[in-house]
Amino acid sequence: MSDWDIRPASVADVEAIVEVRAVAMRPDLERLGRYDEHRVRQRFRDAFEPAHTWVIEVGGELAGCVALRPAEDAHWLEHFYLAPHLQGSGIGTAVLSRMLERCDREGVPVRLNVLQGSPARRLYERYGFTLETEDPVDLFMVRSANREDFFRDDTPTPTPS
């Protein structure tokens, strides 16, 4: 696994994150017939909340992001993007583990949505997410808080920044 870290996002990060999102989501959106070069970028700009977003850095460079937005009955794991050349390297697994550990400490369930057919679904299922509902484009998943039986890899996770 590459040397990585996360840091709080700022407004100045939005355009760099927009580009990572567009590249990371393109294959799944094209497969679903939903890719639009402008829309994929604008949807992130419209939803970006720096206060709930972290930038993933690899070797000091922006490589992705993840958001954990509080809601009434759960936290929503959103905007989890990693540059394609880093996918499968263990970074996404480590970032997800860190986010879920935080939610477990707070005793908060986690919700997310993932595109139909996305390989990310397997990662979420290994961490105890189950299908709640679905539509032709999205799967909506939930994970209860304080699960002791979710998958853990043996890679140590750096302490939060």
pLDDT above 80 for 6: yes
pLDDT band per the 50, 70, 90 thresholds, residue 88: confident
Contact in structure between 144 and 154 (CB atoms under 8 Å):
no
Asked which of 20-34, 80-94, 115-129, 146-160 is least confident by mean pLDDT, the reply is 146-160
Asked which of 16-20, 34-38, 57-61, 155-159 is least confident by mean pLDDT, the reply is 155-159
From 129, 77, 126, select the one nearest 99 (Cα to Cα): 77
pLDDT above 60 for 158: no
Query: Mind listing the pLDDT tens digit for each residue in 106-149?
Result: 899 999 999 999 989 999 999 999 999 999 999 999 999 865 54
Cα gap 104→16, rounded to integer Å: 30
pLDDT above 90 for 68: yes
